[in-house]
Structure 1
Amino acid sequence: MSDLGLELGHEKKHRPRRGLGCLAVLLALAVLLGIGYVAYSYGMTAIKDRLAGPEDYSGGGTGQVLVEVQDGDAASDIAATLKDKGVVKSVQAFTDAARKDSRSVGIQVGFYEMRKQMSASAALAVLVDPAHRMRSVVTVPEGFTVDQIVATLAKKTDFSRKQYDKVLARPGSIGLPSYAHGNAEGYLFPATYELPPNATPRSILTMMVDRWSQAAEDADLTGAAERLGYTPAQLMTVASLVEAESNRDADRGKVARVIYNRLEGDATNHLLQIDAAVNYAFDRDLGVALTTEDLQVDSPYNTYKNPGLPPTPIEAPGDAAIAAAAHPTPGPWVYYVTVNLRTSETKFTESYDTFLKYKAEFKEYCRTQSDAC
């Protein structure tokens, strides 16, 4: 075969390969064009979205939804809650609105009744107005018994006395300390409570016990009991007696000391002789004056007949009374007499003769200045 034939044959073999190369180039070009188009479209959409702003509803919305702002929530946290509840359309819309309104830093913790599909600005307007915060406030004074506390809660909430009593009949779910032995007396802390809209009798009573736990921790109740040689339960009983016997901060520590001195000394045969405890035995107002017949009642709460502490607290002590029981004022006193009911002036002594003088002073006050004795 001639050299020409060999060259021609060689050229025929390579022509198809050149065709495939062109096709590959065309396909690559098409892919690049497609990617470019997608990128262009996406970029234009993003630009349009940015120019148009975040997604947002218009108007004041419809329906009702309960929203809670929790302690420590930032604007972004509140925005996330609102979006999850269907109130606003996007987190960004609300955070943008909050950023533009200085009042947003003052949004209060609590519950708000809002609407679904509200504009971010409308949602913010609700939250920055404290009048829209749902509030249900109940105040339980110091010195109330469980019976009085339940009566107050039944009056101030939408739940009946029977519903509270049902929870107290199974007290394991409200967080009482083990040494309370299921008796809530003294452990439903007296305070002002703001109740959430979803509160229940159990959650309300639990809230009160939790607040007692805080007071006990603040006073180092457990450590104080060990230091003083008593149990935490006994210190709570002392605290309830202090609450019943004194309403002046300057006197509470002294009253606590008198109780401990009587328990530990021989001057009064370990008899506390506290009227409020006897009244508790009768299930009546703890401030009622006792009769001679009352002093004979057969009850472990009769501190005129039974030495030592009553078996349980007799009422709910507040912070000051718990602190006094845990940290009594040093002193030798064994007696005290409130000589003026209007000012609550109380005098303390270790002398029985001086005690009798104070009693005479009180009787003279009752004769000349008061008919409330």
Structure 2
Amino acid sequence: MTDRSTDAPRDGHAARHATSGAGRVTAVRAPSAMRRLADRLAGLVGLAPGGESQGAEPGLAASGEIAGESASGPPGRYARRSVSPGASVSPSAPEAAAPSSPPVGGRRGVDFEVVSTRRGLGTPGALLFLVVLGLVAWMAGSRGYRWVSEQLDPPGDPTGEIVLTLPPGSSTASISDLLGEHGVVPSSRAYEWYVRLRGGPAFQAGEYTFQSNSSVWETMAVLEAGPSRVAQAAQQPLTIPEGLTVVQMAALLDEVGGLSFSGRDFLEAVRTRPVLSLVAPVPRVLPDGVIDPAEGQLFADTYFFDSQTSAEQLVALMVDRLDAVLTDLGYDDAPRRVGLTPYEALIVASMIEREAQRPEDRAKVARVIYNRLARGWSLGLDATVVYAVGESELTAELLAVNSPYNTRVLVGLPPTPIATPGRASLEAALNPEDGPWMYFVLTSPDGTLSFSETDEEFQRDKAVCQELGLCG
């Protein structure tokens, strides 16, 4: 039943230049307010370079992760001057079956996909990292200033070559650990948070030649230039459809052959991961009755895997992909555009995903949600109750269930997303169509929704739904 009725109610010091495979190295500048703020903070302690990148457009590939599907080396193990087959996870290729939403972006028809974004997105953790470094420098005086600066731009020139292989599916954290472990950068954590805060280029999986004792921006330029060698890995596609819950994803994975992990392993990886989305973080305090804090944090797309791919790799890539999409769509601007936090807008997108079957209805459903919130009405969405009780057939008793997800009874948003929204629903949540609608109901077997402003109009549409046997 799809009855929607309710009772009325961001120049720091100049960058060091060096010559590498990428040519002249300069810093990457991004336009977002958070990154401008980061540069001002970092400039105070001599951290951030100015200037613009040479070559590809600055952007985030899920905050500087590997966005290719071809490379080598088992996950977590990297070879010097060698390429060996290993586990990998990568985003979709054009030939693979894909969910109905458009790809995240970038080039298709080649052996890798570039996730292109127009802006970076600061995160509270990354900003806090720079603030803490600044405080350390301030308290320690000139010695502290020098120490902080050297974490991103070490003294002396880059030295010997270091050849490393980056496998597909590498996250920002794993790349940071690799670079720090082999002495490419002085601090893996400084590299990681610099990339997370300021954004980075889209990286292709493969073999790279770095120099030890490099600055963060020199290292990023090498990655942006692309690998010197790319090896194809035998992989299989794995399509995660939009609209699934985390538990439903786990059940789907149990039906996929060739995986090295089970659905239970996947759930364990999700539940034990300390950080999910950095763009739309889960609030620290959630009410009793929350079903799954990780809900909606894993992006639905087609991924590639091999026999050694781990559940942790898949989860990390799905989260990074979500952050890349949210950044590209401008979820940092959600408070101005729709008056909600990025996480709240993600919740709205999940409800749109479950309620709207046809693309043309998504932005209208978003408008109904925002109109009802503005008037202080309950949302009256069956999809949230279905999520709460785990039953698709809703009885009067189930519709009255005591749950923070029961939007027929409670006013406001549910505490978490109720499913994994696709890109189209994520976009609709930020771009609701203008209109006075307060209600909608299913009026055609093809999934068409009818929208109305008054209860009288809604009752007529509801009668059509009932006549067609589409609702009770």
TM bucket (normalised to shorter chain) is: 0.5 to 0.7
Partner of 1:281: 388
Partner of 2:238: 138
Given residue 271 of structure 1, which amino acid in structure 2 is its aligned partner?
Answer: S
Correspondent of 1:165 among 242, 252, 267:
267
CA shift at 1:174, angstroms?
5.0
Question: For 2:70 and 2:443, how far apart are their aligned partners in 1?
Answer: 50
CA shift at 1:137, angstroms?
1.4
Question: For 2:302 and 2:84, how far apart are their aligned partners in 1?
Answer: 33
Correspondent of 2:314 among 201, 204, 217:
204
CA shift at 1:199, angstroms?
2.0
CA shift at 1:224, angstroms?
2.5
Identity of aligned residues (%): 35
CA shift at 1:154, angstroms?
3.3
Please tell me whether residue 84 in structure 1 is matched to residue 194 in structure 2: no
CA shift at 1:350, angstroms?
0.4
Q: Please list the CA deviations of residues 65-110 of structure 1 after superposition, one character each: whole Å capped at 9, or x if unmatched.
A: xxx996799xxxxxxx9973499xxxxxxxxxxxxxxxxxx98459
Root mean square deviation, CA, Å: 3.3
Q: Please list the CA deviations of residues 165-197 of structure 1 after superposition, one character each: whole Å capped at 9, or x if unmatched.
A: 222222215555562248220111111111255
Q: Secondary structure at the match of 2:390?
A: coil
Q: Secondary structure at the match of 2:366?
A: helix
Partner of 2:339: 229
**Higher gyration radius (CA):** 1
Unaligned runs of 5+ residues in structure 1 are 1-67, 74-80, 88-105, 112-126
Question: For 2:432 and 2:273, how far apart are their aligned partners in 1?
Answer: 31
The 3 A distance-change label for structure 1 pair 363 and 305 is same
Given residue 310 of structure 2, which amino acid in structure 1 is its aligned partner?
Answer: T
Partner of 2:287: none
The 3 A distance-change label for structure 1 pair 255 and 174 is closer
CA shift at 1:245, angstroms?
0.5
The two structures have a TM-score, normalised by structure 1, of 0.61
1:174-185 to structure 2, matched below 5 A, reads: 174-175=276-277, 177=279, 179-181=281-283, 183-185=293-295
Question: For 1:336 and 1:70, how far apart are their aligned partners in 2?
Answer: 42
Partner of 1:155: 255
Given residue 381 of structure 2, which amino acid in structure 1 is its aligned partner?
Answer: I
Correspondent of 2:351 among 241, 245, 251:
241
The 3 A distance-change label for structure 1 pair 167 and 291 is same
Given residue 264 of structure 2, which amino acid in structure 1 is its aligned partner?
Answer: K
Mean CA deviation greater in 170-179 or 315-324: 170-179
CA shift at 1:233, angstroms?
1.0
Q: Secondary structure at the match of 1:179?
A: coil
Question: For 1:254 and 1:107, how far apart are their aligned partners in 2?
Answer: 37
Instruction: Assess if the C-alpha contact under 8 Å between 2:332 and 2:342 holds in 1.
Output: yes
Question: For 2:362 and 2:83, how far apart are their aligned partners in 1?
Answer: 50
1:327-346 to structure 2, matched below 5 A, reads: 327-341=431-445, 343-346=446-449
The 3 A distance-change label for structure 1 pair 216 and 108 is closer
Unaligned runs of 5+ residues in structure 2 are 1-65, 72-78, 86-108, 114-166, 168-228, 285-292
Question: For 1:233 and 1:192, how far apart are their aligned partners in 2?
Answer: 24
Partner of 2:360: 250
Question: For 1:69 and 1:179, how far apart are their aligned partners in 2?
Answer: 22
- Higher RCO (Cα < 8 Å, 6 or more apart): 2
Correspondent of 1:312 among 416, 420, 424:
416
Given residue 289 of structure 1, which amino acid in structure 2 is its aligned partner?
Answer: E
1:14-25 to structure 2, matched below 5 A, reads: none
The 3 A distance-change label for structure 1 pair 184 and 86 is closer
1:98-137 to structure 2, matched below 5 A, reads: 108-109=111-112, 133-137=233-237
CA shift at 1:231, angstroms?
0.8
Instruction: Assess if the C-alpha contact under 8 Å between 1:253 and 1:329 holds in 2.
Output: yes
Given residue 179 of structure 1, which amino acid in structure 2 is its aligned partner?
Answer: P
The two structures have a TM-score, normalised by structure 2, of 0.49
Partner of 1:12: none
